[in-house]
Structure 1
Amino acid sequence: MRLSQATEEEYTENHQEEVLEKYDKESRLRVFDNKGLAWIVSLTAVFLSLYHLYTSYFGTPVTLQHRSLHVAVILILVFLLYPPFTQSKRNTLHWLDALFALMALSTTVYVFLEYEGIIERGGIPNSIDLIFGAILVLLVLEAARRVTGWGLPLLAVLFLLYGIFGREMAGLFRHRGYAWDEIVGFMYQTTEGVYSTAIGVSATYIFLFILFGAFLQKSGMGQFFNDLALAAAGQTKGGPAKVSVIASGFLGSINGAAVANVVTTGSFTIPLMKKIGYKKDFAGAVEASASVGGQILPPIMGAAAFIMAEILGIPYSQIALAALLPALLFYLGVITQIHLRASKEGLKGISKDNLPEVKKVMAERGHLLIPLLFLMYMLFFSGRTIIFSAFLTIIVTIVAAMLRKTTRMSFRDIYEALENGARTAIAVAVACAAVGLIVGIATLTGFGISLANGIVTLGGQNLLLTLMFTMTACIVLGMGLPSIPTYIITSTMAAPALVELGIEALVAHLFVFYFGIFANITPPVALASFAAAGISGGNQMRTGFTSMKLAIAGFIVPYLFVYNESLLLTNTTLGEGVLVTLSAVMGVVMLGAAAEGFFRIKIPIILRLLLAGSAILMMTPNLLYDAAALLLLLLFLGWCLSRPDFWRR
């Protein structure tokens, strides 16, 4: 197709890999010259995928054994695949890494062999327990450093030191202090440390949905989304930017990897956006904001919704419904600014001759929607468990792909999907294990409660101030971390502050989830925006701030649903839901116009501020505020209509 050829002329595959490796440490993998080593890695990854498929259907071993096996195999893959330093050779395996892999294996072998003894000792470790526990803690820290960078392991080390020396602190965060032996035993022998809920969710929901995404990719789902988005929106004003939003939103919901999504989809969409006239920084920002937003978009939400369901003990369907309207408002805000920017700069869409037809796209690959529709049925209507639903959906994906020759998967494709799924799951699993150290110390010392009290005290019992402090804490905690570990940390550290002020738990968790995710496009550490700038050739910081502007609805909507829970479509009637949706849609469009400073004509700064204020009023639950917002909107429209240049476009 001509579009893909144009893309290949501007950005080669090598450049795509270079950008991905620069901004996503998860992609800096070894490629062995030794075929024997390559097969060991491949078979280990496939074993892990088959193990999780088997246990999703037949049931898992006891919790501690299941989680320890998951962590151990993930650690083995880390030390086999990830070199210790950027300058390290990537075609050979150092003997020390082979030793680390064997040590990782020993930690789960010991749990399986000594399980009854561990249980009988009731959390009081003997000397051998402590040896294997210390090995596990150190291996998790080193694996996290290799996969995610220094930020997460350093945070974990700080928490471990806090657990030991907390008695030396003064004030709110002082605690009695714990010996190293107590901490190691807690981290290794219980389901509150490394083997906590975080790794439990990784070993069930997250792994299976990542595997599902790997099978979808093998079937050609990524190309299908791109072609469908092109066919639907490519010809409209600023078409390639809208294609980026649609394709990245769908893919981001499935894979939950913002940086990888930016590079995968952006290598196709960013050159197209530049080609029709969008500036470098804006083109990169569109892709970054759209990719990050996929993680707040149902049905999958990058698997975060399943973790939230596990933590809160509520049905997944309730979380997906609550997240739906805010996510759609976020994307409406992005598309509004894209459209207005195209109108302001006179940018056209792509010629119809260069676009696929919807009918042809659906005829060729429309059957790939069957797995997604089946998954939604299983999650919302079947009453079966999420794990079993994920297992069946993977099977349905393979069967559905067989319906046409162009998407049919060979045995080799299935094998590679099993391998790729395990490889992709490494980053999240390692981060969840490291987060287990942080959450474990927070649980052991009561740090989470102390931090929540500190935030509330700092906010002076004022909800708005508390929300602002919580938002800041979430963005700082989320900088440079994958979205799922970020959510687990922020839900433990920051969400309790909002709950303490009477906010419903689901609302509080969605609030911290939003801002933890948007850390990826918030300078100074905005990895998704930086990756997009690497593809577009734009300035990193300008791309980051432009991403924030495009995502402005995402920064405001969480505040609004805290004050107006009807935005989450919970505890509301159909009529109220319709009214809330309409007013929110109007508000987001007005907010987009204010952010872009254009509505057929350039809007002066005073009127932009007025329009932004009226947009926020429009999205509040107060009828008086709605009336005031409508009045301000009418005044604004009156001003527009009175301008001669308004009619010349």
Structure 2
Amino acid sequence: MSANNETLSAEQQKEMLQKYDQESAFRYLTGFMAKVVFFGLLAFSLYQLFATTIYPLPAQMHRSIHIGFGLVLIFLLFPATKKGRMSGKIAWYDYILAALGFGVGAYWPLMYEEIVRRAGEINQFDMFVGIVAVLLVLEATRRSVGLPITVIAALFLAYAYWGRQMPGFLIHRGVNLDNLVQSMFFTTEGILGTPIAVSSTFIFLFLLFGSFLVKTGVGQYFNDLAVSLAGKRTGGPAKVAIFSSALQGTISGSSVANVVTSGSFTIPMMKRLGYRREFAGGVEAAASTGGQLMPPIMGAAAFLMIEFIGIDYWTIAKAAAIPALLYFTGVWIMTHFEAKRTGLSGLSDEEIPDRREVLKKIYLLLPIVAIVFFLSSGLSVMRAAIYGILTTILVGVLREERFRKIYPIVFGIVFVLTLVYGWITGGASITSGLITAALATVFVSYFFDGNFKETIEALVDGARTALAVVAATAAAGIIVGVVTKTGLGLKLANSLVSLANGQILLTLFFTMIAAIILGMGSPTTANYVITSTIAAPAIILLGVADLPAHLFVFYFGIVADITPPVALAAFAAAGIASGEPIRTGLNAAKIAIAAFIIPYMFVLQPQLLMIDTTVIELLWILFTAVAGMIAIGAGLIGYWYRKVYWPERIFAVAGGLTLIYPGVLSDVIGLSVFAILLSLQFFYMKNKIGVPETRAKA
């Protein structure tokens, strides 16, 4: 397609990511150290697969090794300053820090029996190791994640130590240095706590799954599929961005990475069609940010909910499905009205790929379908991720056309033989037959096609992506440890409820502000850990169930990426579109207005999360919600079937909000306003009032 000529090159995408995404700001090494880091990353992935599938280690051992790998590789890859990144060389002190990180990671495995035998008592050398571990985690977090979360973790440590000097309700008896170091590194309440536990199991495996998906070429296929399905519609490129970014969210846990990957393709198309720069960037930022909200694979923080709430991941993904669809429906409505207002049509036939050729590659979506099947069938999250990786490798095999006929034969023969063996011995099931057949097919692929290199690269890329998550979850563990040790979470929750005078809407509003502020410049994972331990309890205190409360803070931690003044996803989109960053952020926030409304909806109406509801109730809620977003979209954009004038725009937004707010009376009022506005639209359409001369083809 001609649009492809306008996309950013791989080098330009790399520069954009390094500028706006702290997690991608690593050195590009050459020579001997490049090989050392390459094999270090490979060893990290292989260890994770070994420890989570074949030979599980005790929790403290495994988590410590996980952190050790992360620290060593972060100090070798991420420089202390931007100048160091430009040089591409490792500073002498980074070797020292990497060596210390290795020592910290090895301490628990080497001293495990003695530490357990002492039952919590630590000696002077333990103190030294614990202090070094905390300092290394803070510095690694600063380098790979950013300063905000590092400062917050340091402030929490200071709060724990100087508790007696704190004012008002924040005062506590204080935690001495021995107890603080012990809780931070020698229990499962600090650095080795729940966040790093989830990072070392669920998150890492799903990051590997995403890395394998990239190697199969599924990212480009998402773009081709989106163009073929939505390219010819009104304002086609904007709708391509929405469709593509919703799919890209399954392989990217970062809003900024999603913007750069899909935005380098969609933003030039939108600009060429006639969209304003800031609006084009805003569409991509809003759509890319929503990728983390879209099941089956949501942002990394969603996996933390498994441990924090104590429910399975499939329940979380199922609950998040309808809100995510409503979010993208809202973005679609806004872009559609903008395209209609400005008279923008879709792409030409020459710019649309051959639909038959696109559909021939539909098998590339098989890993995502497989993940949904595995998760919904009751398998554990870790096993589902492993099976998903195997499915992705199998799909990669099917790309080779010259051997495509051989693989089904190999797969079928091995599958039948496995079932026959199981029938004879009573030891094999359909699941084990499928896995054995898949592995045999992969082996044949390596023998004939040499796909082994792609697998190695996927393992290395997955480990590199995980480094920032390791640092963020370790720092988040410090925060959780302090909250647990001091009872700060309950204190802040009570004060938040008191500030809101016990009003649910005010409490939700204050929680939203806190989540957005904490999310500015911080990864979603760390943001969720903080807000789920501090802000979510305030909502729960007012009688809201755990799942809606946690999804509420999860949503707004993600929305922070498009909320000015620090809207990293919007700034990255502005860089691609050559637009003004703040205006792009404001456009993104306006386009994603649904994200600021939907969390209130599912807290006030848990039926939206498919909790204690019937099909009829759910359909009615969806109908009023979509109608409300149409009205709000028309009011904010200023166009529906024709121009919407200011008095009508005010009524449209108000009517939309009443439709979204739960209640019979509010629904009646909202539907009445909606019907009146729609009638006026058709009346003025008939009389050609407010209708542009050039109309877009719907």
Shift of 1:96: 1.2
Aligned to 2:489: 448
CA contact 1:123–1:186 (8 Å) conserved in 2: no
Q: Max radius of gyration: which structure?
A: 2
- Distance in 1 (alpha carbons) for counterparts of 2:302 and 2:162: 36
Aligned to 1:509: 550
Say yes or no: does 1:396 pair with 2:439.
Answer: no
Say yes or no: does 1:227 pair with 2:224.
Answer: yes
Letter of the 1:401 counterpart: G
Say yes or no: does 1:405 pair with 2:400.
Answer: yes
Aligned to 1:102: 99
Letter of the 2:546 counterpart: A
Say yes or no: does 1:470 pair with 2:508.
Answer: no
Unaligned runs of 5+ in 2: 405-448
Letter of the 1:312 counterpart: I
Aligned to 2:660: 619
SS at match of 2:83: coil
Shift of 1:580: 1.6
Letter of the 1:85 counterpart: T
Letter of the 2:496 counterpart: I
When normalised by structure 2's length, the TM-score is 0.90
Aligned to 2:43: 47
- Distance in 2 (alpha carbons) for counterparts of 1:538 and 1:63: 48
Aligned to 2:150: 153
Aligned to 1:83: 79
- Distance in 1 (alpha carbons) for counterparts of 2:547 and 2:251: 22
Letter of the 2:384 counterpart: S
Shift of 1:623: 2.2
Aligned to 2:278: 281
Deviations 1:558-585 (A, max 9, x none): 1122111112121001221222222222
Letter of the 1:387 counterpart: M
Aligned to 1:202: 199
CA contact 1:332–1:589 (8 Å) conserved in 2: no
| 1:162 corresponds to which of 159, 162, 172 | 159
Q: Percent identity?
A: 44
CA contact 1:511–1:559 (8 Å) conserved in 2: yes
- Distance in 1 (alpha carbons) for counterparts of 2:87 and 2:495: 46
Say yes or no: does 1:522 pair with 2:563.
Answer: yes
Deviations 1:294-317 (A, max 9, x none): 111111112333221221111222
- Distance in 2 (alpha carbons) for counterparts of 1:299 and 1:456: 33
| 1:255 corresponds to which of 252, 256, 262 | 252
Letter of the 1:22 counterpart: K
Shift of 1:18: 2.1
- Distance in 2 (alpha carbons) for counterparts of 1:639 and 1:331: 27
Aligned to 1:134: 131
Please say which of residues 571-580 and 327-336 is displaced more in the overlay: 571-580
Change in 2 beyond 3 A, CA 1:641/1:32: closer
| 2:58 corresponds to which of 58, 62, 74 | 62
- Distance in 1 (alpha carbons) for counterparts of 2:681 and 2:630: 16
Say yes or no: does 1:118 pair with 2:115.
Answer: yes
Aligned to 1:494: 535
Aligned to 1:309: 306
- Distance in 1 (alpha carbons) for counterparts of 2:388 and 2:9: 34
Letter of the 1:196 counterpart: G
Shift of 1:624: 2.5
- Distance in 2 (alpha carbons) for counterparts of 1:281 and 1:411: 43
| 2:20 corresponds to which of 9, 18, 23 | 23
Letter of the 1:227 counterpart: D
Aligned to 2:429: none
- Distance in 2 (alpha carbons) for counterparts of 1:19 and 1:625: 46
CA contact 1:164–1:180 (8 Å) conserved in 2: yes
Letter of the 1:619 counterpart: I
| 2:363 corresponds to which of 361, 367, 373 | 367
Please say which of residues 619-628 and 516-525 is displaced more in the overlay: 619-628
Aligned to 1:584: 625
CA contact 2:519–2:558 (8 Å) conserved in 1: yes
Letter of the 2:135 counterpart: L
CA contact 1:533–1:540 (8 Å) conserved in 2: yes
SS at match of 1:642: helix
Aligned to 1:237: 234
Shift of 1:439: 1.4
Deviations 1:268-318 (A, max 9, x none): 111110000001000101111111111111111123332212211112222
Say yes or no: does 1:334 pair with 2:331.
Answer: yes
Aligned to 2:409: none
Please say which of residues 47-56 and 288-297 is displaced more in the overlay: 47-56
Say yes or no: does 1:594 pair with 2:589.
Answer: no
Letter of the 1:398 counterpart: I
CA contact 1:56–1:391 (8 Å) conserved in 2: no
Please say which of residues 269-278 and 312-321 is displaced more in the overlay: 312-321
For residues 295-306 of structure 1, the aligned pairs below 5 Å read 295-306=292-303
- Distance in 2 (alpha carbons) for counterparts of 1:253 and 1:171: 45
- Distance in 1 (alpha carbons) for counterparts of 2:450 and 2:243: 26
Say yes or no: does 1:246 pair with 2:289.
Answer: no
- Distance in 2 (alpha carbons) for counterparts of 1:574 and 1:642: 35
- Distance in 1 (alpha carbons) for counterparts of 2:469 and 2:647: 45
Letter of the 1:47 counterpart: A
| 1:38 corresponds to which of 29, 34, 40 | 34
CA contact 2:548–2:606 (8 Å) conserved in 1: yes
- Distance in 2 (alpha carbons) for counterparts of 1:581 and 1:600: 22
Deviations 1:324-380 (A, max 9, x none): 1111111111111111111111111111122113321120x2111111111111100
CA contact 1:530–1:544 (8 Å) conserved in 2: yes
Please say which of residues 179-188 and 582-591 is displaced more in the overlay: 582-591
Say yes or no: does 1:322 pair with 2:319.
Answer: yes
Count, aligned residues:
643
Letter of the 1:228 counterpart: L
Shift of 1:59: 4.4
For residues 422-461 of structure 1, the aligned pairs below 5 Å read 422-461=463-502
CA contact 2:149–2:526 (8 Å) conserved in 1: no
Shift of 1:209: 0.5
Change in 2 beyond 3 A, CA 1:439/1:409: farther
Say yes or no: does 1:387 pair with 2:382.
Answer: yes
Deviations 1:92-139 (A, max 9, x none): 222211111111111122211111221222222111111111111111
- Distance in 2 (alpha carbons) for counterparts of 1:360 and 1:28: 37
Please say which of residues 217-226 and 21-30 is displaced more in the overlay: 21-30
